[in-house]
Amino acid sequence: MFTENRTVQVHHDYRLDTDNTLALASTAQRLVCLDQVSQIPALQQIAQTEPSRWVLGGGSNMVLAPYIAGLVIKVQNRGIRLVSETATEVIVEAQAGENWHRFVSFCLEQGWLGLENLALIPGTVGAAPVQNIGAYGVELEQRVHSIQCWDLERAQWQHYTAQQCEFAYRDSLFKRAGAGRYLITAVQFILSKASGWQPVLRYPDLLQSPKLQHTINARAIFEAVIEVRQAKLPDPKQLANAGSFFKNPVISQANYERIRAQYPAVIAYPYEAQFKLAAGWLIERAGWKGKQLGPVGMHVRQALVLVNYGGATAREVAQLVERVQADVYDLFQVELEQEPITVT
């Protein structure tokens, strides 16, 4: 059911069950789809009358409530273009609705390098900067050139450089600004040509990959990352999940030394004069790897991944999260922070 508003259709009581990778049953009171930026004026007219707004990309990093009042904006504009190039670098623009992994693969095929460590991360290009996605030694902020977005509060275009995005670990200006203010429409990336490319191979999983024992190039890293992720992480199409559910906690050196004295095998990495603990290791040590609470649980192969075995609700997800957080804190006096955004 829908009514039309110029070039934008307003869908009422729209089911989002298949639009979130946790497969939570959810209904949006109203939903509009952004297929092209020319729809922005019509979309703004609708959005400015709504008491609340949420922006939805691939739904891979969200915990959806059973009913979402207000307006959900589903971003699905597509397109990739080469903006400029030098002898060693390129600037590439991708529209926000592009599938992230397909974009990474496309860049690799064109010889635009630097995103290979971020292969197989679910979601869309537009959602990637909100969380400042990262994996295997690379964070998105290292590759972003600039971001174009529509400010729904001020009804105007905004153009942000990477520095202006205020990126932090799994955080950004867009995440802190509040739900539904910024509608990212396109992201520009600064990537390398082969002559200027350097591999990022700091993580043991990559260093030990058979695919990288003889040949080290961007294609080999891309394939190794895919292999490692597939071995550790369940495919959301086969077992509903939102990927890594908790941030790796960053603690002081003193706290790290305290934990290491009691648990010498603790997995941690130096991070800006502090230490980043492997949340999956903490969760596994707290006894939650493979453990289930009703229809939800922590995955049997990767304790960091919360999975929905079928029919779970946002409330049941929250109950499991609280239990895991409490057990990890009791054991290590370390607080785990949820990574996915809770949409209420």
CATH number, residue 282: 3.90.78.10
- The reply to whether 69 and 90 lie within a common domain is no
- The reply to whether 97 and 173 lie within a common domain is yes
CATH number of the domain to which 46 belongs? 3.30.43.10
Q: Where residue 69 falls among pLDDT bands split at 50, 70, 90?
A: very high
- The reply to whether 226 and 240 lie within a common domain is no
Strands 296-298 and 182-192: unpaired
Domain that holds residue 289: 235-343
Spell out the residues 6+ positions from residue 189 whose beta carbon is closer than 8 angstroms to its own.
91, 92, 93, 94, 107, 114, 115, 143, 144, 145
- The reply to whether 257 and 127 lie within a common domain is no
Three-state secondary structure string covering 71-132: EEEEECCCCEEEEEECCCEEEEEEECCCEHHHHHHHHHHHCCECCHHHCCCCCECCCHHHHC
Average pLDDT, the chain: 93
Strands of the 268-271 sheet, one edge to the other: 250-251, 274-277, 268-271
Residue type, 219: R
Q: How far apart are CA 142 and CA 26, in angstroms?
A: 35
- The reply to whether 22 and 136 lie within a common domain is no
Q: What is the pLDDT of residue 1?
A: 37
| pTM of structure | 0.89
Instruction: Give mean pLDDT, residues 23-28.
Output: 95
- The reply to whether 34 and 160 lie within a common domain is no
Instruction: Give mean pLDDT, residues 166-186.
Output: 91
Reported as a single tens digit per residue, the pLDDT across 260-296 is 999 999 999 888 889 999 999 999 999 999 999 999 9
User: Taking Cα atoms as reference points, which of 269, 250, 245, 265 lies closest to residue 318?
Assistant: 245
Q: Which residues have a catalytic role annotated?
A: 170, 244, 339
Domain boundary among 205, 231, 257: 231
Element (H, E) at 225: helix 218-232
- Name residue 186's beta-bridge partners: 95, 148
Long-range contacts from 77-81, C-beta under 8 angstroms, 24+ separation:
77/34, 77/35, 77/36, 77/37, 77/185, 80/106
Domain boundary among 209, 231, 253: 231
Q: Is the dihedral of CA 249, 251, 253, 255 positive or negative?
A: negative
- The reply to whether 283 and 213 lie within a common domain is no
- The reply to whether 227 and 245 lie within a common domain is no
User: Percent helix, strand, coil in the chain (nearest 5)?
Assistant: 30, 35, 40
- The reply to whether 257 and 215 lie within a common domain is no
Q: How many folded domains does the chain comprise?
A: 3
Is residue 344's pLDDT more than 90? no
Centre a 10 Å sphere on the Cβ of residue 194 and count the other Cβ atoms it contains.
11
Higher pLDDT, 125 or 6: 125
Q: How far apart are CA 29 and CA 98, in angstroms?
A: 25
Domain boundary among 231, 249, 281: 231
Instruction: Give mean pLDDT, residues 193-197.
Output: 94
Would you state the torsion angle of the CA atoms of residues 214, 217, 219, 220, taken in this order, to the nearest 10 degrees?
30
- The reply to whether 43 and 25 lie within a common domain is yes
